[in-house]
């Protein structure tokens, strides 16, 4: 066993300073912008006549404002505020204000700010009319004044440049460009007039302020937790999110519209067609980047993209969802990651999921276009929908994983969850696609040698088995399936499906003869490398005995439902008496599947059978358990005091692990760290300790991940309470 420092492309230690924003903060440009705004300017360097008012200093009062705006955790020197809510700033003049003095504060964003589009805002403090933001003098302190400024609840979101201008005769004397007075304006879930207003305080703290989360993977019955660092307050992340909007060429004046912003973000988080943040990869070859399972969170990804301008490799659905969640929360949009278990991917556009089988009952993978993902992760955002009829506000689905195009780009949403539940697929955006993911019918077809498809089974309850998201104030899952659909077979469900058909949801109404036979597969979840025992249950609901010729196929399966490396073909017969169930136990020794796993940890078993004219099919996906990392913390758990994190692992397998990467990270405590090991021998151990000083108080989380070519999904987590 040996180790060496991280590879050059890891970008470790490059983010000690905030990323520069790309809002074109050039002094000369600003001066030219004012020329367009006011043709009678006082030149720079103007020396006021004796007694004339002049600005000596501008203080944005970050320490005073940030707690009231819930932005004090942003690791940034500038003031960050939420729109629709007053903030204070202090202006110091060369003398106390007198009657007749006139001044204004000006906020600019973008390269060509104009008042008509909201990108140049003038705030006045007397009888003279200003722009839409409100201003008042809150307090006089000799030569200084405390100003209260309230951005509108629909203000542009982004980074503004701040100037104070004093009326001097027929012109203006403005302060020089000062980056320390730049102002970040975010969406405001605490403001009732903002489109992202969320009334519940616990939900605001979870869906806007929590910088750590849990994403659920696996399959229903064997759910796996994946800890994820959102890190929206970490240094450089907010600027990186603004950079994404700049890179998208999204007009500045549209950035106050949350619907347009989240739709643009959905497209830009993937790099499928617009040089966005992440490159998707659903193969076993990640040699040109990092595997999707190796990430601890979003921070490194966003900073690397903003620093290089190059899309980051690689991602799968939970990575797209995790990074998108960081983008949304950083900008103030309430958001959460949800997981849909048994998620349909409708490639044929008919809003039903078609699985095709050959005449002998084996899967016809060549002709099957639709697929069922073991799970799929997307995001929900909480917004009002002024573009929709009343009743469709609240949670909206947005999805950054590139699956299908929407208006010419790989993106999805926002789609109203309420509209999906009611089958009202006419409402924008992409409600039909999401409806198929959670509520489509699963149709089994038999394909004869002439290519003719004959449906022989329709299942209405196998798609969207459950939709999970993280609980408030906890890490356990909450089932939100009933937000998306009514209970199967209920009157409301029937009405929903009828409405969905009216809006183009094609269903299969073929007359399918009643089949008295059925088959199901059960297996206990085991640790990777252990033997598997399958219990195949055949049920005969007729009164006559049935002899079934059956076939079991075992394959390695990606979570997207794509199978590879078939490792088992087993044919057998079973006779089932009338009205009885017979169980066939089929052992699967570990040596049968282990050599074929590669980087996957899921096995797919399909049992097909035929008895005279009746056919049966049963499918089981078994997620193998992986060992955990051991994470230990030591030191004094106080802000700015030295602490230590130790991550250790012992290889429990009879084979070596090669090209091993370990990473650790904790928002508000430790920046991303990474280490490489050539190999870990069977029963060999590694241990790695890093020192850090916590930046933030409260309940904090550190996450560690180990990843290598022949073992993935190895994680560890530590929770700690940091005091002041």
For residue 191, indicate whether it is catalytic.
no
For residue 29, indicate whether it is catalytic.
no
The distance of Cα 659 from the centroid of its chain, to the nearest Å, equals 28
Q: How many residues does the chain have?
A: 724
Inter-residue contact 217 to 317 (CB < 8 Å): no
Joined together, the tokens standing for residue 671 give 């920046």
Give dist(CA 682, CA 286) in Å, integer.
24
Inter-residue contact 162 to 182 (CB < 8 Å): yes
Among candidates 172, 188, 185, 16, which has minimal Cα distance to 109? Answer: 185
3-state secondary structure at position 495: helix
Q: Are strands 312-315 and 278-280 parallel, antiparallel or unpaired?
A: parallel
Set 182, 194, 211, 399: catalytic member: 399
Helix 317-330 to helix 237-247 angle (10° resolution) is 100
Give dist(CA 280, CA 399) in Å, integer.
13
Give dist(CA 357, CA 607) in Å, integer.
12
DSSP state of 669: T
Set 317, 412, 505, 708: catalytic member: 317
Inter-residue contact 580 to 574 (CB < 8 Å): no
Set 376, 409, 427, 445: catalytic member: 376
For residue 412, indicate whether it is catalytic.
no
What is the biggest distance separating any 2 CA atoms in the chain, rounded to whole angstroms? 110
Inter-residue contact 217 to 243 (CB < 8 Å): no
Torsion of CA 548, 549, 555, 559, to 10 degrees: -30
Inter-residue contact 378 to 359 (CB < 8 Å): no
Joined together, the tokens standing for residue 415 give 């789609």
Give dist(CA 564, CA 567) in Å, integer.
9
CA distance to 334, 397, 702, 722, per residue, from 326 (Å)? 10, 16, 17, 23
Inter-residue contact 650 to 628 (CB < 8 Å): no
- The residue whose two tokens read 């004044």 is 145
Residue 489 CB-density burial (10 A; 0-12 exposed, 13-18 middle, 19+ buried): exposed
Q: How many Cβ atoms are within 10 Å of 286's Cβ, its own excluded?
A: 18
Radius of gyration for the alpha carbons in the chain, expressed in angstroms and rounded: 30
Contacts 24+ apart (CB under 8 A), 241-245: 241/302, 241/326, 241/327, 241/330, 241/331, 242/21, 242/22, 242/23, 242/158, 242/159, 243/19, 243/21, 243/22, 243/305, 243/306, 244/268, 244/269, 244/276, 244/277, 244/302, 244/305, 244/306, 244/327, 245/158
Among candidates 381, 314, 333, 80, which has minimal Cα distance to 187? Answer: 333
> ω into residue 508 within 30 of 0, thus cis?
no
Among candidates 668, 724, 663, 665, which has minimal Cα distance to 693? Answer: 668
Q: Would you please indicate which residues are annotated as catalytic (active-site) residues?
A: 317, 376, 399
């Amino acid at each position: 066993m040996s180790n060496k420092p991280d590879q050059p492309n890891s970008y470790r230690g490059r983010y000690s300073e905030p990323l520069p924003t790309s809002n074109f903060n050039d002094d000369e440009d600003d001066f030219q912008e004012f020329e367009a705004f006011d043709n009678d300017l006082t030149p720079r360097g103007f020396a006021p006549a004796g007694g004339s008012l002049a600005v000596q200093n501008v203080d944005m009062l970050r320490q005073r404002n940030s707690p009231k705006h819930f932005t004090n955790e942003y690791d940034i020197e500038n003031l960050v505020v939420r729109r629709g809510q007053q903030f204070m700033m202090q202006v110091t003049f060369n003398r106390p204000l007198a009657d007749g003095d006139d001044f204004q504060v000006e906020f600019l964003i973008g390269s060509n700010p104009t008042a008509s589009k909201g990108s140049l805002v003038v705030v006045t403090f007397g009888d003279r009319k200003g722009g839409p933001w409100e201003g008042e003098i809150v307090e006089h302190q000799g030569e200084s004044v405390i100003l209260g400024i309230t951005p509108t609840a629909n203000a542009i979101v982004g980074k503004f440049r701040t100037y104070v201008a004093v009326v001097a005769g027929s012109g203006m004397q403005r302060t020089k460009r000062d980056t320390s007075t730049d102002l970040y304006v975010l969406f405001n879930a605490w403001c009732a007039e903002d489109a992202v207003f969320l009334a519940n305080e616990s939900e605001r703290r979870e869906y806007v302020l929590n910088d750590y989360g849990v994403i659920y993977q696996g399959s229903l019955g064997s759910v796996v937790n994946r800890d994820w660092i959102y890190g929206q307050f970490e240094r450089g992340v907010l600027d990186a999110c603004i950079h994404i909007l700049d890179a998208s060429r999204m007009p500045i004046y549209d950035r106050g519209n949350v619907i347009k912003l989240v739709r643009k973000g959905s497209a830009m988080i993937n790099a499928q067609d617009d040089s966005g943040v992440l490159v998707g990869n659903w193969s076993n070859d990640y040699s040109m980047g990092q595997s999707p399972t190796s990430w601890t969170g979003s921070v490194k990804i966003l900073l690397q993209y903003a620093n290089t301008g190059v899309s980051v490799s690689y991602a799968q659905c939970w990575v797209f969802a995790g990074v998108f969640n960081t983008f949304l929360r950083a900008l103030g949009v309430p958001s959460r990651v949800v997981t849909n278990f048994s998620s349909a991917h409708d490639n044929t556009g008919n809003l039903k999921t078609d699985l095709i089988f050959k005449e002998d009952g084996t899967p016809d993978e060549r002709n099957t276009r639709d697929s069922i993902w073991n799970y799929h992760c997307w995001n929900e955002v909480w917004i009002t929908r002024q573009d929709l009829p009343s009743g469709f506000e609240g949670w909206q689905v947005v999805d950054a994983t590139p699956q299908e195009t929407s208006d010419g780009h790989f993106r999805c949403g926002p789609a109203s969850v309420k509209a999906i539940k009611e089958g009202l697929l006419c409402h924008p955006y992409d409600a039909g696609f999401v409806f198929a993911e959670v509520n489509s019918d699963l149709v089994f077809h038999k394909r004869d040698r002439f290519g003719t498809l004959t449906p022989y089974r329709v299942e209405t309850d196998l798609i969207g088995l459950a939709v999970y998201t993280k609980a408030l104030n906890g890490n356990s899952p909450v089932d939100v399936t009933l937000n998306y659909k009514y209970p199967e077979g209920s009157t409301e469900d029937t009405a929903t499906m009828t409405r969905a058909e009216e809006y183009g949801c094609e269903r299969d109404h073929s007359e399918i003869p009643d089949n008295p036979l059925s088959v199901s597969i059960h297996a206990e979840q085991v640790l990777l490398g252990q033997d598997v025992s399958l219990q195949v249950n055949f049920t005969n609901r007729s009164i006559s005995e049935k002899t079934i010729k059956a076939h079991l196929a075992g394959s390695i399966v990606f979570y997207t439902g794509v199978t590879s490396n078939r490792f088992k073909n087993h044919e057998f017969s079973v006779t089932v008496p009338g009205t009885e169930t017979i169980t066939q136990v089929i052992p699967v020794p570990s040596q049968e599947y282990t050599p074929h796993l590669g980087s996957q940890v899921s096995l797919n078993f399909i049992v097909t059978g035929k008895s005279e004219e009746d056919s049966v099919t049963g499918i089981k996906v078994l997620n193998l358990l992986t060992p955990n990392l051991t994470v230990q913390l030591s030191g004094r758990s106080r802000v700015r005091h030295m602490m230590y994190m130790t991550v250790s692992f012992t290889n429990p397998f009879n084979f070596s692990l090669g090209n091993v990467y370990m990473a650790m990270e904790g928002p508000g405590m430790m920046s991303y760290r990474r280490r490489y090991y050539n190999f870990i021998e069977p029963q060999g151990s590694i241990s790695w300790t890093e020192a850090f000083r916590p930046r933030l108080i409260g309940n904090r989380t550190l996450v560690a991940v180990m990843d290598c070519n022949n073992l993935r999904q190895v994680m560890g987590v530590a929770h700690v309470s940091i005091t002041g």
